[in-house]
Each structure stands twice: as structure tokens, then as C-alpha cells.
Amino acid sequence: MEGEDNEKMTIATRQEVLGLYRSIFRLARKWQAVSGQMEDTIKEKQYILNEARTLFQKNKNLTDTDLIKQCIDECTARIEIGLHYQIPYPRPIHLPPMGLTSIRGRGLRSQEKLRKLSKPVYLRSHDDVS
């Protein structure tokens, strides 16, 4: 019985992922650059397609449901942010250097850990691909 629930979850997750993949390609097909320039539109469409292919290919063998859920959340966030701001690229975050240290005397290692933890969901895989 438990195996059936897990299998159904996998099928539902697979369909959700494939649906996201298709929606990204539909989005790329209809994408228009804000500048109105054809070169910008072509460049942005190509970026959307390359980014989707790279990330989906990189994560195609994931089996951990929590990691899959994180990837789905990141993908959904990037689609929504891209549509809202009309830019296909991830919006950068700006943190002042050494601005996250909460305890005096903490050095660079704790800074890096805090920065990693504070990274928004839509930027989780950006450093891996870029």
C-alpha cells in the first residue's frame, strides 16, 4: 500500500515537472524583450531555452523528494519573477560585505554559510550553471 502511494507521488511529480518544462518552452516561444529590439528578444529567448535545458538535464536523476520539491519551487519562482519583471535573468540580491555576521569575531567561513542560507529560492542553482 505504501509503495503505491510513493509511486503515485512520483507520477504526479513527474507530470508536474514535465508541465513546467513545457510551460517554459511556451513562454520562450512567446517572449518579447522589453526593449522591443529583435536582437534582444532572440538573445533572451535563447537564454530561457538554454537555462531550462541545462537545469532540467542537471537534475533529471534526482530521487530525493525534498530536492525535487526545491527545484520545482525554484522553477516556479523564476517563471513568476521573469513574467512580473519582464526579464528572463534571475534578479540579483545585494548583501553588504560582512553584513550578515551576527556574532562578533565570526569570520569569512560563517559569512559564506550565512550568505548561502540567505539566498532566495529563485537563485539556488544560478551559481551552479553560471
Cell numbers describing residue 19 = 508541465
In a domain, 114, yes or no: no
In a domain, 109, yes or no: no
Residues 6+ apart with CB under 8 A from 73: 121
Main-chain dihedrals φ then ψ at residue 102, nearest 5 degrees: -100, -20
| Domains contained in the chain, number | 1
Single out the residue of 120, 8, 12, 127 nearest to residue 58, CA to CA.
127
Single out the residue of 88, 72, 91 nearest to residue 32, CA to CA.
88
Mean pLDDT of 51-66: 91
In a domain, 68, yes or no: yes
The whole domain housing 25 covers: 1-93
Q: 13 or 104: which carries more pLDDT confidence? A: 13
pLDDT at 56: 94
Pairwise CA distance, residues 48 & 27, whole Å = 9
**Number of CB atoms found within 10 A of residue 3's CB:** 7
In a domain, 122, yes or no: no
Percent of the chain whose predicted confidence (pLDDT) is above 90: 47
- Tell me the average pLDDT of the chain: 80
Contact 16, 72 (CB under 8 A): yes
In a domain, 66, yes or no: yes
Percent of the chain whose predicted confidence (pLDDT) is above 70: 64
pTM for the full predicted model: 0.71
